[in-house]
Amino acid sequence: MDKIRIRGGQRLEGQIPISGAKNAALPLLAACLLTDETLVLRNLPHLADIATMTHLLAQHGAELSMAGEHPGGGHMGHVLKLCAAHIASTEAPYDIVRKMRASVLVLGPLLARCGQARVSLPGGCAIGTRPVDMHIRGLETLGAEIELDDGYIVANAPDGLQGGVVVFPTVSVGATENMLMAATLAKGEVVLENAAREPEVADLANCLNQMGARIEGIGSDTLRIQGVARLSGTDYSVLPDRIEAATYAIAAAITGGDVELLGAQSETMEAVIAALEQAKVTVERTDCGIRVRADGATALEGIDVTTAPYPGFPTDLQAQMMTLMTVANGAAMITETIFENRFQHVPELMRMGADITVKGATAMVRGDHDGLHGAPVMATDLRASVSLVLAGLAARGETTINRVYHLDRGYERLEEKLSGCGADIARLVE
Ligand code: EPZ
């Protein structure tokens, strides 16, 4: 299995192009099931999770073709044409869903378009139990009949989905996206209250409107959808990945570097930028994105961070921020409120010399700008893995990161982007 080897201590300097957002691309791909016309998606990142979703869509009968890449060696993302003129199967099998939980996003579109769907339950994952009860209850509110059968969600709405008011008990990105897609073809008005406000949800809603959907309240916590009889195809570009951009912002900061993140959208990153500025990292908006500078780890300040749904500080950056705090001056308190088991990077960071104490959902980090040293490490999910890459960049000596497949799920050409700015990082192919 491949490994990543990092020799730490290099200051990062240069430019990093930001890819299309994985978590926007996945629901946008699923949206192709809502129409018999062609959906063209641009700026798609080249990632394992995107390949898993396209594999699932092909098995539902969608025809996919690569429409080439933008000039510049593919740095501007891939273009994919998807046409689900005929749905060959309304079943999302366990073998695909177990690889990627976001597969459950086909449930809403299949049910809305075909009046039926059989989708494997995703099960738990490394960061938490992650139930899908809100997806199921939301669809039931729109008139679907749903049973759980042998590990599958079996949903039926032979006369189509109806209007209704869905109040989510807690904010869920995936449940909002599934309901949004289902609601576009419902008979009547659907109101989604306490909806997720993440930019990726807004990206999906904007694309759906371009396909002929009637969604109002985009970007707010109340989405109002007037169902339409059919959606058409469109041509849509995926928004830049705010989590990838912020990860590289932290890479610049932790190495005392100076990096411009090309294409990064600062307006989707306000909580993160505020946290970085509080930690004494300099962030400037430029014509091409954002520029991030720090005067070396000695200048960084420990800060307290609590994760929250958007526009709060993202859970998908908690591990990376914690790594930054391990080299900052003073103490930092990091509290995780979204997932119950998202501190798996802590023992690995401690093996690299970090001083961290966990109590329940809070980690107390005592920073030391010279505290990290290289070590062989591994992690059980994407963001935990990349937090170890960040630690490796700052550490004295050599770090090897095992289980690289986690990184390949969410960071396109990670080694290339970092080595382009001076990092000593290589993939060891075994
Ligand atoms: C999305 O997952 C992202 N994935 C995650 O990114 C991200 O961490 C998460 O949102 C939170 O921002 C994609 O967009 C593909 P949720 P999702 O439903 O939609 C609970 C990454 O690293 N919940 O917003 O699955 C749930 O257990 C990944 O890129 C229920 O209880 O997350 C969690 O505690 C990991 N019942 C909370 O809600 C439900 O029916 C928020 O989860 C649904 C969710």
Q: What angle in degrees, to the nearest 10, is found between the helix axes of 242-254 and 22-30?
A: 170
Taking CA atoms only, the protein residue closest to ligand 1 atom 17 is 174
Cβ of 16 closer than 6 Å to ligand 1, yes or no, is no
Pair 196, 339 in one domain = no
Of 218, 237, 256, the last residue of a domain is 237
Pair 67, 105 in one domain = yes
Report CA-CA distances (Å) from 334 to 74, 92, 165, 292, 299.
37, 37, 36, 22, 20
For residue 99, the CA-to-ligand 1 centroid distance in Å is: 16
Taking the CA atoms of the chain, what radius of gyration do you get in angstroms? 21
Taking CA atoms only, the protein residue closest to ligand 1 atom 3 is 23
Tell me the two tokens of residue 173: 């990105």
For residue 40, the CA-to-ligand 1 centroid distance in Å is: 26
Pair 358, 387 in one domain = yes
| pTM over 0.85, yes/no | yes
Of 237, 252, 270, the last residue of a domain is 237
Cβ of 19 closer than 6 Å to ligand 1, yes or no, is no
Neighbours of 145 (CB within 10 A): 12
What atom in ligand 1 is closest to the CA of residue 338?
34
Q: What is the pLDDT of residues 387-423, one digit of tens each?
A: 999 999 999 999 999 989 999 999 999 999 999 999 9
Pair 315, 391 in one domain = yes
Cβ of 121 closer than 6 Å to ligand 1, yes or no, is no
- Bridge partners (DSSP) of residue 305 are 334
Pair 255, 266 in one domain = yes
Beta strands (DSSP E) in 18-111 are: 38-44, 63-69, 78-83, 91-92
For residue 73, the CA-to-ligand 1 centroid distance in Å is: 33
Of 237, 268, 284, the last residue of a domain is 237
Pair 255, 392 in one domain = yes
Tell me the two tokens of residue 253: 């900061």
Cβ of 401 closer than 6 Å to ligand 1, yes or no, is no
Cβ of 410 closer than 6 Å to ligand 1, yes or no, is yes
Specify the CATH number for the domain of residue 155: 3.65.10.10
For residue 368, the CA-to-ligand 1 centroid distance in Å is: 32
Pair 171, 297 in one domain = no
Cβ of 142 closer than 6 Å to ligand 1, yes or no, is no
- Bridge partners (DSSP) of residue 118 are 91, 154
Pair 310, 226 in one domain = no
Beta strands (DSSP E) in 185-315 are: 187-193, 214-216, 222-226, 234-237, 258-262, 282-285, 289-293, 305-306
- pLDDT at site 375: 97
Pair 135, 204 in one domain = yes
- By most ligand atoms within 8 Å of CB, the mutation choice from 47, 101, 125, 172 for ligand 1 is 172
Q: Which of 32, 125, 207, 421 is the catalytic position?
A: 125
For residue 127, the CA-to-ligand 1 centroid distance in Å is: 10
- pLDDT at site 379: 83
- pLDDT at site 42: 97
Pair 84, 200 in one domain = yes
- pLDDT at site 54: 97
- By most ligand atoms within 8 Å of CB, the mutation choice from 173, 380, 409 for ligand 1 is 173
Pair 285, 228 in one domain = no
**Residue segments in the chain with a per-residue pLDDT below the cut of 50:** 71-75
Pair 98, 160 in one domain = yes
Q: Which of 310, 303, 368, 309 is nearest to 337 (CA)?
A: 309
For residue 128, the CA-to-ligand 1 centroid distance in Å is: 10
Which range of residues forms the domain containing residue 39? 22-237
- Cα–Cα distance, 297 to 61 (Å, whole number): 52
What atom in ligand 1 is closest to the CA of residue 127?
35
Q: How far apart are the first and last CA of the chain?
A: 5
Cβ of 339 closer than 6 Å to ligand 1, yes or no, is yes
Cβ of 174 closer than 6 Å to ligand 1, yes or no, is yes
Cβ–Cβ under 8 Å, residues 403 and 387 = no
Cβ–Cβ under 8 Å, residues 344 and 314 = no
- pLDDT at site 71: 45
For residue 370, the CA-to-ligand 1 centroid distance in Å is: 35
Number of domains in the chain: 2
Residue 125 designated active-site: yes
Cβ of 47 closer than 6 Å to ligand 1, yes or no, is no
Q: What is the pLDDT of residues 284-328, one digit of tens each?
A: 999 999 999 998 757 899 999 999 999 999 999 999 999 999 999
Which phi and psi angles does 332 have, rounded to 5°?
A: -140, 140
